[in-house]
C-alpha cells in the first residue's frame, strides 16, 4: 500500500483510500485527493482485450490500493451486472463524426449509475476494513440524477441509510417522479425550496456540524457522501474513459498511442476531472473539452482565470448541469497551485466570502489541457434536432450541450483529432425537452405519451427505469425550507 489521500485544505490530513471513501469530505471541509496519480501498469493493447469489469479492476486497483484483489473484484462484480441493459456496460456509438460514449445503460438511465452502482459496495467494504460499527448515513444533494442513482444503489443495503435533498422546482418531471417513488425503508427524499447550490451548501454545512456529529455518533450513526466529492465516486468514473479508448483501439478506429479528445457536459466538474485523472494515468488524451450550459461559470473561468459565482442562476433544459459552484474544481485548483493546501484554502475562503476568486498566471498556464465553451438553450435544441434529422440518433439535453460545444471547438480550432463525447443521460429522462427540440407539435402531450412518441421516432426500446415509474405511487412528499434541512435529517434518524 503506497497511495494516500490528502485534504485540499490541510496538509496534515493523510488517510487511506478506504478511509477517504468512508469520510467523503475531509474534516476541514476540503476534498480528498491522491498524493500522486499512479500510471496504468497494463498497456493499452492489453486493456483493449479486456471486458469492462477487467478494465475497471486494472484502473481501480491503482487508485484504491488498500483494497485487496478479492475485495475490489467482489465490488466490481456486484456493481456491473444485469442492472445494466447491455453487457458492454458503456457502449460507443459513432454519429455525426464523433463517438458518443453512452453512459446511461444503468438502473436510473444517467451516467451517475456508473459510479453509484459500485459506491455502496466500496463503502460497506471500507466500513468493514476500518472496523466501523456505526450505521452509515448517506447525505446527498442532487441536481436530479445523483439522487435517484444513489437511492437505487443504497436502497435496502444493510448498515446504511440514505437522505436525498433535491431542488423542488429544479429537476425534470421524470427525474422527480423517479426519486419520489423510491422504495426502501432506509431511504428518505426531500424537496427543498431553493436551487441545487442551496442544497449542496446545506449538505456541506450539515457535514461540518461538529455538535451534530457528536449526537450522531452517540446514536450509532455517521455521515458519508454519495456526491462526486467522494473519491469513491470519482475513481469508478476514470474507468470508462480508459475503456472507451480501449474499444476504439480494439475496433481499429484509432492507431496505437493515437490521441483522442474528450468532451464532457459539465456541472460539478466530477466527470471531466475523472477524464483528467485518466489522462494523468497515461491515457493518450489531447484536449479535455469542458461544455457548460447557460450557467457558464466554468467557461468564464477557463477564459479569464476568474471564478465568479455572483450571477443569476439559470434554470435550463439540462438541469443536472445547473450549478454555479462546481465542487470538484477545487481538486484541480489544488493541483495547479502545486498541491498547495494553503493557496487552495485562500481561494476557497475567497469563494465563500466574496463568491469569487482569481488564479495566478502560473496556475492558468497549467490549464492548457482544457478547452471551455458553452451552449445556449436555442443552440442546444438545434443540435438535438439536427443530429436527429441527419442520422436518426436522439441525444438528451446534456449530451447536446457537449455536442454543441464540440462543434464550436472544431469550428474554432480546425482540430480533427478523433473525439469521444460523454453521453450522460438517456433522452428518456428528459423526454419533454428532447421532443420539443425535435418538433413543437409535441408540446401539448403528456409525459408518458411523449415517452411512447420518443420510442417511435428513435426506435430505442423504452428503458425499464421509465416503465417502472409509469404507475408507481409517490412515497416521499416532504418539502422543506433550506434552513430546515438539518432538522429533517434529525427527524428521519430519530435523534
Ligand atoms: C451530473 C450530470 C452532469 C454533470 O456531471 P458533473 O460530474 O457534475 O460535471 C451532466 N449530465 C448529466 C445527465 C448528469 O446527470
Predicted confidence band of residue 143 (pLDDT cuts 50, 70, 90): confident
Predicted confidence band of residue 373 (pLDDT cuts 50, 70, 90): very high
Give residue-wise pLDDT tens across range 393-422.
Answer: 999 999 999 999 999 999 999 999 999 999
Predicted confidence band of residue 1 (pLDDT cuts 50, 70, 90): low
Which of 48, 105, 46 lies closest to 80 in space, CA to CA? 105
Q: Which of 108, 238, 268, when mutated, tests ligand 1's pocket best, judged by the most ligand atoms within 8 Å of its CB?
A: 268
Q: How far apart are CA 34 and CA 371, in angstroms?
A: 24
Mean pLDDT confidence for 24-50: 95
Contact in structure between 113 and 237 (CB atoms under 8 Å): no
State in Å: Cα 265 to ligand 1 middle. 7
Give residue-wise pLDDT tens across range 258-304.
Answer: 999 999 999 999 999 999 999 999 999 999 999 999 999 999 999 99
- Cell of residue 311, nine digits: 450571477
State in Å: Cα 3 to ligand 1 middle. 28
State in Å: Cα 266 to ligand 1 middle. 6
Please tell me the predicted confidence (pLDDT) of residue 5. Answer: 98
Q: How far apart are CA 189 and CA 191, in angstroms?
A: 7
- Cell of residue 367, nine digits: 490549464
Give the SS3 label for residue 139: strand
Taking CA atoms only, the protein residue closest to ligand 1 atom 1 is: 320
Instruction: Read off the pTM.
Output: 0.94
Which of 296, 485, 475, 486 lies closest to 374 in space, CA to CA? 296
Evaluate if residue 316 carries a pLDDT over 70. yes
Annotated catalytic residue within 14, 73, 94, 112: 112
Pocket (CB within 6 angstroms of ligand 1): 110-112, 145, 228, 265-271, 320-321, 398, 424-425
Give residue-wise pLDDT tens across range 96-115.
Answer: 999 999 999 999 999 999 99
Give residue-wise pLDDT tens across range 450-466.
Answer: 999 999 999 999 999 99
148 an active-site residue?
A: no
Mean pLDDT confidence for 201-214: 92
According to DSSP, the residues that pair with 141 across neighbouring strands are 165
Q: How far apart are CA 117 and CA 161, in angstroms?
A: 16
State in Å: Cα 320 to ligand 1 middle. 5
Amino acid at each position: 500500500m503506497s497511495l494516500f489521500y490528502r485534504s485540499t485544505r490541510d496538509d496534515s490530513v493523510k488517510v487511506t483510500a478506504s478511509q477517504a471513501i468512508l469520510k467523503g469530505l475531509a474534516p476541514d471541509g476540503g476534498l480528498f485527493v491522491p498524493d500522486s496519480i499512479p500510471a496504468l501498469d497494463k498497456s493499452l493493447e492489453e486493456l483493449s482485450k479486456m471486458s469492462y469489469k477487467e478494465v475497471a479492476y486494472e484502473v481501480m486497483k491503482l487508485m484504491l490500493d488498500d483494497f485487496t484483489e478479492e475485495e475490489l473484484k467482489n465490488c466490481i462484480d456486484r456493481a456491473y451486472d444485469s442492472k445494466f441493459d447491455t453487457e458492454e456496460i458503456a457502449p460507443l456509438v459513432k454519429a455525426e463524426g464523433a463517438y458518443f460514449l453512452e453512459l446511461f445503460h444503468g438502473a436510473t438511465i444517467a451516467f451517475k449509475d456508473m459510479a453509484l452502482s459500485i459506491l455502496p459496495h466500496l463503502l460497506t467494504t471500507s466500513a468493514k476494513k476500518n472496523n466501523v460499527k456505526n450505521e452509515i448515513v448517506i447525505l446527498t444533494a442532487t441536481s436530479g440524477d445523483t439522487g435517484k442513482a444513489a437511492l437505487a444503489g443504497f436502497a435496502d443495503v444493510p448498515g446504511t441509510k440514505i437522505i436525498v435533498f433535491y431542488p423542488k422546482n429544479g429537476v425534470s418531471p421524470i427525474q422527480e417522479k423517479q426519486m419520489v417513488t423510491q422504495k426502501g425503508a432506509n431511504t428518505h427524499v426531500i424537496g427543498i425550496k431553493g436551487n441545487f447550490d442551496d442544497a449542496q451548501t446545506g449538505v456541506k454545512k450539515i457535514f461540518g456540524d461538529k455538535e451534530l456529529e457528536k449526537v450522531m455518533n452517540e446514536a450509532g450513526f455517521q455521515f458519508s457522501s454519495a456526491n462526486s466529492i467522494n473519491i469513491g465516486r470519482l475513481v469508478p468514473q476514470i474507468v470508462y474513459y480508459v475503456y472507451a479508448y480501449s474499444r476504439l483501439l480494439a475496433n481499429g478506429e484509432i492507431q496505437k498511442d493515437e490521441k483522442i479528445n474528450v468532451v464532457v457536459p459539465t456541472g460539478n466538474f466530477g466527470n471531466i476531472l475523472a477524464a483528467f485523472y485518466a489522462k494523468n494515468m497515461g491515457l493518450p488524451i489531447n484536449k479535455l473539452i469542458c461544455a457548460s450550459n447557460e450557467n457558464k461559470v466554468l467557461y468564464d473561468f477557463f477564459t479569464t482565470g476568474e471564478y465568479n459565482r455572483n450571477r443569476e442562476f439559470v434554470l435550463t433544459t439540462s438541469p443536472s448541469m445547473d450549478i454555479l459552484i462546481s465542487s470538484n474544481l477545487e481538486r484541480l485548483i489544488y493541483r495547479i497551485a502545486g498541491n498547495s493546501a494553503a493557496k487552495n484554502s485562500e481561494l476557497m475562503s475567497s469563494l465563500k466570502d466574496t463568491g469569487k476568486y482569481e488564479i495566478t498566471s502560473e496556475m492558468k498556464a497549467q490549464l492548457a489541457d482544457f478547452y471551455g465553451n458553452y451552449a445556449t438553450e436555442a443552440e442546444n435544441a438545434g443540435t438535438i434536432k439536427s443530429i436527429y434529422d441527419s442520422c436518426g440518433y436522439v441525444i438528451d439535453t446534456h449530451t447536446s450541450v457537449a455536442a454543441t460545444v464540440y462543434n464550436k471547438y472544431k469550428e474554432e480550432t480546425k482540430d480533427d483529432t478523433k473525439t469521444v463525447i460523454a453521453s450522460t443521460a438517456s433522452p428518456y429522462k428528459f423526454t419533454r425537452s428532447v421532443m420539443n427540440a425535435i418538433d413543437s407539435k409535441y408540446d401539448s402531450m403528456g409525459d408518458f405519451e411523449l415517452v411512447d412518441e420518443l420510442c417511435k421516432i428513435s426506435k430505442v426500446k423504452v428503458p425499464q427505469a421509465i416503465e417502472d415509474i409509469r404507475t408507481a405511487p409517490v412515497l416521499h412528499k416532504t418539502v422543506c425550507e433550506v434552513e430546515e434541512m438539518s432538522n429533517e435529517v434529525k427527524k428521519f434518524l430519530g435523534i
